[in-house]
Chain A
Amino acid sequence: MNYFLTEEQQMIKDLAAKIAAEKAVPLVAELDETEEFPWEVMKTLASSDLFGVYLPEEYGGFGGGVFELCLVTEELSKVCCGMGVCYAASALGTLPILLFGNDAQKQKYLPDIAAGKKLAAFGLTEANAGSDAGAVATTAVRDGDFYVLNGTKQWITNAGEAEVYTVIALTDKAKGIRGASAFIVEKGTPGFTFGKKEKKMGIRCSATRELIFQDCRISKENIIGREGMGFIVAMKTLDRARPGVASQGVGLAQGALDHAVKYSRERVQFGQAISSFQAIQHMLADMATQTEAARALTYAAARMIDSGDENISREAAMSKLFATDVCMKVTTDAVQIFGGYGYMREYPVEKMMRDAKILQIYEGTNQIQRNVIGLALIKESAKKK
């Protein structure tokens, strides 16, 4: 399908594909096994300027938007969804600063993030605040020119590896979620440590850890926006990051489909390539059609966000929901086409199916995406009356 990329967008896509093929592919299976962070690939992305594709030129970026972010994420996820999320989660951690930070904060943090010198991470989830993000219990108490943070964030992607953390904490417990605020916390701040690295089903090269705050004092300059804006910061950030998760799904699905097509032409049973069986052809046809539809929806949502439209929650949620459900199905079918070989670690689709599952869970489960879409429909209908 032709998506009419600009010359620059095509260049970004080609460059990301080149890095994926030359630098990522040789490491995919190894890092899945060792669960080591893909620093080498991150460094290549950095030296190739790809961490800045969605950031403004005045902060050292390329001046693109969510769409460019999606192009890179998709190409990486085609070969390794784990590497895709290491890249995309840094953008998730950066968006609060980009969207709500003041100029001093942008000047201080964005150039290093654009250059890939520093990774970022986003800390919202806690043990008792998952889908119910409003149940956040981490506190930030004002003390003169400082805020003092206490509490634990759970399952934070890039934790331990990133330098810059955007964290949601309560500045006014009494107000509940309306008393939440967003903060920038740098790695190395006294009182800020990490929990052990989690052992996961998939995306195993990505790092998932706790953020532990024990009387962690940060300057009052580190608040993003004003006190009480934390929940809005989080929700607007997630709205803009969701096509990024969708593009992980699109890339991963495409990667699995490509493997399945190739394998079906090589595997001979009953004296013929299994690709000659219509049952297999139809599976491949569905996989390809669904993947393409997911891509089209993802690109459309990303372009809508980049157009400056403010009303994007529904479309962003649709792209995340559809592309990641498609991805789960396509990777499962890819394993099916590989048969028993597909179940073996020696073949790439086994990992792909494991990696796919997380996409239906993080950055809002797919049930929560449906809630967002459903609510938007009802609101819209109510308005018309």
Chain B
Amino acid sequence: MNIIVCIKQVPDTGSVKIDPTTNTLIRSGVPSIINPFDMNAVEAGLSLKDTYGGSVHVITMGPPQADEALRNTIAMGADNACLLSDRAFAGADTLATSYTLSMAVKKIGDFDIILCGKQAIDGDTAQVGPELAEILGLPQMTNVSKLIEVKETTIVVEQELEDGCEIVEVERPCLLTVTKQVNNPRIPSLKNSMRAKKAEIPVWKAADINADEARIGLKGSATQVVKIFEPPKRTDRRILQGDVEEMVTELVTELRKRL
């Protein structure tokens, strides 16, 4: 069972602030973490490997610092990692990101399952996984909350829906995006931490993955972020106090006024 996991390094959103004058994220001094859902994707890959053998290959597209995120996944037990990093990738939207990832997947070649997080906690679009599957022509299951069974040519998974769960059997190779429910990411081991420290993590540039220059980075993006801003804080809120009856009466009166 050979597995490719796509991870994204994101700012620790707990500590991200928006600069009110420029409306941009204040990124300096904000620690980077692996997108939490991607930790679940890595764990899912590792537990599949523990049960069925094979290997786990982790990839990320990002700045040179994303090397650290990849090393953390090796410390957890991933076999290989590679970093897609090139100035030409800068400014990529989800379309350009997933195209770039797809070219890296092609270069790696042999795989049974691609695992992604359900969404990134910064961009939050939940698009990269599905787009990657489309580009590669793979069946996909999003919001996977349980890996149930691996069969001869398929995998049975549980998918979280709005109002319940669905159990689905998917042909392999396929792409799965996972939620937090799927597992608890493991803590690294000392041996793998040592391996991670010394691991050679190749950096692949656009040319290394034969990427079409028109489809990567800003040029390859179909969308552009025009502006980031914090929605204005609502100031007309009130907290009602007193006994329930009084509060309900007041609430109804207020609501009536606004009808």
Contact = CB atoms under 8 A, between A and B. Distances in A.
Same complex origin of A and B = yes
Interface of A: 7-8, 11-12, 15, 18-19, 22-23, 44, 47-50, 52-53, 62
B197 interface: yes
Interface string B171-212: 000000000000000111111011001000000000000000
A48 B189 contact: yes
B191 A15 contact: no
A49 B191 CA distance: 7
Given A7-B197, A11-B197, A47 B189 contact: yes
A337 to B, nearest CB: 28
Contacts of A62: 190
A11 B187 CA distance: 13
Q: Could you tell me the dominant secondary structure of chain A's interface residues?
A: helix
Contact of A23 (B187, B188, B189, B197): B187
Nearest to A62: B190
B188 to A, nearest CB: 6
B187 A18 contact: yes
Contacts of B197: 7, 11
B187 A48 contact: yes
A53 B187 CA distance: 16
A15 B190 contact: yes
A7 to B, nearest CB: 7
A380 to B, nearest CB: 39
Contacts, number: 31
A295 B104 CA distance: 49
B19 to A, nearest CB: 28
Contacts of A18: 187-188
Nearest to A47: B189
Given A8-B194, A47-B187, A62-B190, 15 more contacts: A7-B197, A11-B194, A15-B187, A15-B188, A18-B187, A18-B188, A22-B187, A23-B187, A44-B187, A47-B186, A47-B189, A48-B187, A49-B189, A49-B191, A50-B190
A18 B189 CA distance: 11
Contacts of A53: 190
Contacts of A48: 187-190
A49 B190 contact: yes
Contacts of A22: 187
Contacts of B189: 47-49
Nearest to A14: B193
A18 B187 CA distance: 8
A19 B189 CA distance: 11
Contacts of B187: 15, 18-19, 22-23, 44, 47-48
A353 B190 CA distance: 32
B43 to A, nearest CB: 13
28 contacts: A7-B197, A11-B190, A11-B193, A11-B194, A11-B197, A12-B190, A15-B188, A15-B190, A15-B193, A18-B187, A18-B188, A19-B187, A22-B187, A23-B187, A44-B187, A47-B186, A47-B187, A47-B189, A48-B187, A48-B188, A48-B189, A48-B190, A49-B189, A49-B191, A50-B190, A52-B190, A53-B190, A62-B190
A105 B187 CA distance: 31
A19 B197 CA distance: 19
Nearest to B77: A47
B72 to A, nearest CB: 11
Nearest to B193: A11
A11 B194 CA distance: 8
A50 B187 CA distance: 12
A48 B188 CA distance: 6
A18 B191 CA distance: 16
A49 B194 CA distance: 11
A50 B191 CA distance: 10
A62 B186 CA distance: 20
A15 B194 CA distance: 11
B94 to A, nearest CB: 31
A271 B122 CA distance: 40
A49 B193 CA distance: 10
A99 to B, nearest CB: 23
B189 to A, nearest CB: 5
A212 B189 CA distance: 37
Interface string B70-108: 000000000000000000000000000000000000000
A262 to B, nearest CB: 18
A62 B194 CA distance: 11
Give me the 10 closest cross-chain CB pairs, A-B, nearest first.
A49-B190, A49-B189, A48-B189, A11-B193, A49-B191, A48-B187, A44-B187, A19-B187, A18-B187, A48-B190
